[in-house]
Structure formats: structure tokens, C-alpha cells
Structure 1
Amino acid sequence: MMLGQTRLGTTLRVWRDRLPPAQVGLPAGRSRRTVGLRREELAELAGVSVDYIVRLEQGRATTPSVEVVAALARVLQLTRAERDHLYSLAGLQPPGDRIISDELTPGVQRLLSRLGEIAVGVFAADWRLLWWSRTWAALLGDPSRVAPEDRNFVRARFPVAGSSACVSQWPVRVTFQDASDRAIVADVRRASARYPEDRRLTELLQRTLDGNAHFAQLWGDGAVGEHAEDRKTVEHPLVGEIRVDCDVLHASDADLRLVVMTAAPGSEDARRIARAVAHAR
């Protein structure tokens, strides 16, 4: 076994062991044998199998994909230097400033851990869904059932032939559709200028321009816009329609978008969200 393979596994174990469960929003519990995360917890949060985590730590899996490494770095709350070291151990080129990052900074992760039972999803600069709360999954359907490349809001909002993109697993009606569409196109335009060397974004942009006439028209018209508070109606299959306020927050340094969906406390919509969460358990 090569030294690099054992170093990858050892390093992952060290980082897993040092991360308190409470720091990722998990209860510490009294019966824990370890201070840090269990393998099962890391696997669930990173969207991979427990067996794969075991094989990585034991050096039997040595070539994790970029997506897996990005997910591990996010869950383990690595610094940028640690993240780059993890990429190197996996034999991958660390993401540069001209490439979209899928990492959630420690500050953003601490913020998310304190949001409690709020429905929130975190998107990269190209609107790929990176992280979601349990309430988000209960409200819109569990994104872990969708391939990572299909968890993209641009691809879902502006579909092309043969696309299987999905951010919500059931219908969602948008109150201010045109303003929302323009804001998304403007986001993609800004991202394309900031990340000219990002292949994933380039492919997304070209594919959507070629395959979706509405996106192409908004792009050609130079559509601009900012995300404003919107009202959405989720057609939930178990609890009925749920009306929520939707806000888009921007973590500028990390270039992440936090989409937050809430209902007024004590309202029928809030009660339906609670019932949806109970159904999902």
C-alpha cells in the first residue's frame, strides 16, 4: 500500500474525530464512544455510503471523485489550507479562485447549525444544491435521491430536452416568476465573469443557452435583477399546499446562496411544515 493512500485515510480519521457532533447540528448523546463524528454520521452528511467511508479510511478506496472530496471537506469544516491538502492527498487539483467552490466555510456551517428547524438550502455560484436542512428535505423532498449534477436550480428552472434536474420533488408555484427568472439569469452572468475557467459552469451555460429559449432570450436581452422576497406555494403530497416566504441570502466571501423558506409562527402553513417534518422522520 502506498504511503499517500494511508495518509488519506489517517487524515480523514483525524479530522472526523476532532469534529464535535454539535458543530454540525447533531445531538451529542450520552452513549457516544467517540468525541467526534461517527462514520455513519459523516457518510450521511456527505451523501456517501458508510462502506465507502470505511474503505477510504482503511486505504482500500484511494481515488475519491471531486464531488466526494468537496462534500467531505464541507462536512468536516476544513480550512482552505486543509481542503487543498485533502484534494492533494486524493490526487486532485485543489479548486482555484477562478473555479467555483462547493465548500461551505466554517462560518456558514456554524450559521446553519443555529438555524434549527428552518427549511434552508445552500447553493454554489452556479446554483448547484450543496447542503440542505432536514426541514428542507421534508418540505420539498429529499435531494439525496437526486444525482448531484441534477440538483441544480438553473437546470430545473430552465429545463432542456432530456434533463432530469430536480430541486423540488413536487410542484412549487412562484408568485413573482419573471423577477425570479431574471435574478437567476443575472446570477449566472455574474458567475460566468467571475469564474471564466470553470468547466461545470461553462457547460451549464452553453447547454441552457442552446436548449432553453426563455433562458436564451433573457440572456440575450441582458436581463439583470436582484433576488427579492418571494412567495412560493409548495404542493406537498401528504399535507397539502404550503405557502412560504422565500428569501435568498448571499454569503459573499464564499459566493454561496442560502435559500430560506419560512412560514409565520402559529399559522396553518407552519403547522403543515411541522406535519411534513413528522412524516419524513
Structure 2
Amino acid sequence: MEPVPVVLSKFEIGRRRCGHAPGVARVALGSRPATRADASSREDAPLGAGTPRALGDRGISRARLFRQVCGILVSVTAGNDLGGVLRRWRERATPPHGGVVSCTRRRTPGMRRDELAAEAGVSAEYIKRLEQGRGRPSAGVLDALARAMRLSRPEYEYLCSLAGHVPPRIGRVPHEVGPGTRRLLERLGDIPICVLDAAWTLLAWNAAFEALCSASVLAVGRERNMAWCVFTGDPENMRGASGFPFQSAIVTDLRATALRYPDDDWLKDLVTDMQTASDDFAALWQSHADSRYRHHQVTVHHPDVGDVTVDCEIMTIHEGDLRAVIYTTEPGSVDSARLAIAQGQYTNQN
């Protein structure tokens, strides 16, 4: 006798969580989400005998069933799970204005809702609704939240699974700063150093860098991206950075980054917008110039001590695909004295 087709309602599937009925594939929140390639390869594969079918014995593809089940599970459980995870990760994240060395006491741990909202380009009220389980963020918002909280790739994938989204198949530009890099920043506390990701977005810095470049530390969103600031920002803030060698080095590095991470939508948008906003960037990008020169001299304008000319060294940290930008001055020079004054003022204020 042929097996009788099993027909489950959406409520029944949601109640059983897809893990207690024969013939229904188990879907566990937190497991590796299916990729777009997985879904496309199974799109037209009908389920076999003994598995659920639609009314009228019409076949239903595995991909369609997977989407339906994920939608049900999200509506049943993801509200609280997503909100709770988002809040825990926000409270452990590094505050955007704290850098590596924080001398001020905070009333709440990690990032505040308004800080996360500013970094991700949404409202604080929207973050509150998500944490209360009253909303389902889009894939773009999830990507922005992951960047703002510096999530790892597995954490990003888990966040996507809670929201019912399939993460991109190829990874994004990594933006995690490892403990070794943080120790380097702390031990070289009197030398201004900042750490950027491969897209040239500011991730971490030490107190000396904050004393010299407070505007960069306080910036949010795309204004934290050094490449964007060099090509579209006020040239008076960092004179010399607009010179051809430095610009060409940035473009060369960004082009290599775009090749390594072809599915990073944030990087794609950055490159597209810079080509529109800056003729210099567009010309360098189209010329395919290749500059490996890593030593530059720039003049940073400090609001209190005036212009400080520094030697700028760019180093690659292969673990995490990071960039370390190191500023030094000639010992005994006027610039060295001004840098010392700026650092002294910063120490007194904090």
C-alpha cells in the first residue's frame, strides 16, 4: 500500500518546530543557514514519498518548504531571540567614541542604543523596537548592524538566521580587531596609531591618535572611512593626503580589496559613490594605477595647537586583513612639540 501523503498546516509546522514529525526536515536556529547556491540547486527538486505535499497531491519544492518554515519559525520565535541576541551583542560591543583606551565611566555597558543607531544609519527607536521583538530588519539593516557591532562572520550568519535572511555566500570585508593588535595599540600609547579594515574604515585607535585626530574619532557612518574623507572631505583637515602618491596607494589597495570581497555591498556602494563624488578617484580607479608606496607625509590640522606635519606609514596586518596607519614626527622638531602639547591637553581633559 502506498504511503498516505501527510498534510500539515502552517500552525502545525510552527508548533512542532519542524523537528518532531516524520518526513519533516529539522531546522535548528543557530545552525548554518542555507546559501543562495544551496537554495537554487534544490529549487526544482520535489519531495519524495512520505514527505509533506500540498493539497491535491501537488509537489512542493524543498526550497519553497524551507522558506515557508523559516518564515513560520521567525514569526513564532525570532521576535524574542533576535531582540535578546541584539541587545546582548550591543552591550558587549566597543563604544564608538571609546577607542581602545577609555578614561570616562559609562552608565551602561557597551554601546548605547543611540550610538548603535548612529553607526548603523537607523533611529534609536527602531533599535528599541527590534530589541523588544517588534520588528524584522531588512538584510541591509542587518549588514549595517553587524558592521557597527563588529560581528564575526559566524555571528553575522546567526543574526541573519534569526531574522529569516540568507547571508551572502561570499564573506564581507572583515572588521574584527584581534587581541594582538589591541595590545600593539596600548603598548605604543605615545605614538598616534589607528587601525582600519580593508575598506579603510576606522575600527580602533589609541589615545595618542585620538588626541591628534579627534574629528576622525567622533565621526560616524561613512565619515569614519579614511578613503572617503581623503577624496571628498575638507582638504584643510589633512593636507598632503590629497597628494597623488597617497591617493594612488588608497585606490590600489581598495581595488585589491574589491577583488577579494566581490559580494560586499557596502564596499560596492562606497566605490560607486566615490566615483561620482570625486573626479580624482574616478580617474585613478579607471586608470588601474598600481602604487605600492607606503610612506607619506601629511599635515593634520589640530584645533588648538595648529598644523602638525607627520610621517605617515601604512602597514598591513594580515590577520584580519587590517591596515595600521602610524603617525610619527621628527624628534626635537616643532611638530614633535605640538604633538606633545596636544597629547598633554587630551590627558588633562580625560
State the TM-score, normalized to the length of structure 2.
0.58
1:223 aligns with 289
Structure 1 residue 26 displacement after superposition = 5.0
2:200 aligns with 127
Distance 1:178 1:83, change over 3 A: same
Structure 2 unaligned blocks of 5 or more: 1-74, 119-123
2:56 aligns with none
In structure 1, how many angstroms separate the alpha carbons of the residues matched to 2:348 and 2:301? 15
1:271 aligns with 340
Distance 1:232 1:5, change over 3 A: same
Structure 1 residue 91 displacement after superposition = 4.8
2:18 aligns with none
Asked if 1 retains the 8 angstrom alpha-carbon contact of 2:172 and 2:263, the reply is yes
Asked if 2 retains the 8 angstrom alpha-carbon contact of 1:250 and 1:257, the reply is yes
Match of 1:7 among 66, 81, 94: 81
Q: Secondary structure at the match of 1:88?
A: helix
2:307 counterpart of 1:238: no
Asked if 2 retains the 8 angstrom alpha-carbon contact of 1:16 and 1:38, the reply is no
CA deviations over 1:99-158 (Å, ceiling 9, x no partner): 323333454445445443543333222223333444433322334654412332222222
2:273 aligns with 207
Asked if 1 retains the 8 angstrom alpha-carbon contact of 2:296 and 2:313, the reply is yes
In structure 1, how many angstroms separate the alpha carbons of the residues matched to 2:279 and 2:91? 50
CA deviations over 1:63-121 (Å, ceiling 9, x no partner): 4642222222x2xxx65434432443355554654432333345444544544354333
Q: Secondary structure at the match of 1:42?
A: coil
2:328 aligns with 262
> Percent identity over the alignment?
32
Structure 1 residue 268 displacement after superposition = 0.5
2:146 counterpart of 1:69: yes
1:158 aligns with 231
Asked if 2 retains the 8 angstrom alpha-carbon contact of 1:55 and 1:61, the reply is yes
Compute the RMSD of aligned alpha carbons.
4.2
Match of 2:174 among 72, 77, 101: 101
Asked if 1 retains the 8 angstrom alpha-carbon contact of 2:248 and 2:291, the reply is yes
2:238 counterpart of 1:184: no
In structure 2, how many angstroms separate the alpha carbons of the residues matched to 1:115 and 1:45? 31
In structure 1, how many angstroms separate the alpha carbons of the residues matched to 2:164 and 2:85? 14
Q: Secondary structure at the match of 1:197?
A: coil
Q: Secondary structure at the match of 2:112?
A: helix
Structure 1 residue 183 displacement after superposition = 0.8
Structure 1 residue 180 displacement after superposition = 1.1
1:174 aligns with 240
Structure 1 residue 190 displacement after superposition = 0.9
Structure 1 unaligned blocks of 5 or more: 30-36, 160-164
Q: Secondary structure at the match of 1:6?
A: helix
Asked if 2 retains the 8 angstrom alpha-carbon contact of 1:98 and 1:198, the reply is yes
Asked if 1 retains the 8 angstrom alpha-carbon contact of 2:82 and 2:133, the reply is yes
Distance 1:143 1:43, change over 3 A: farther
Asked if 1 retains the 8 angstrom alpha-carbon contact of 2:173 and 2:264, the reply is yes
In structure 2, how many angstroms separate the alpha carbons of the residues matched to 1:243 and 1:250? 23
Q: Secondary structure at the match of 1:142?
A: helix
Q: What is the total number of aligned residue pairs between the two structures?
A: 262
In structure 2, how many angstroms separate the alpha carbons of the residues matched to 1:153 and 1:171? 12
Asked if 1 retains the 8 angstrom alpha-carbon contact of 2:312 and 2:328, the reply is yes
Structure 1 residue 186 displacement after superposition = 0.7
Match of 2:221 among 126, 132, 148: 148
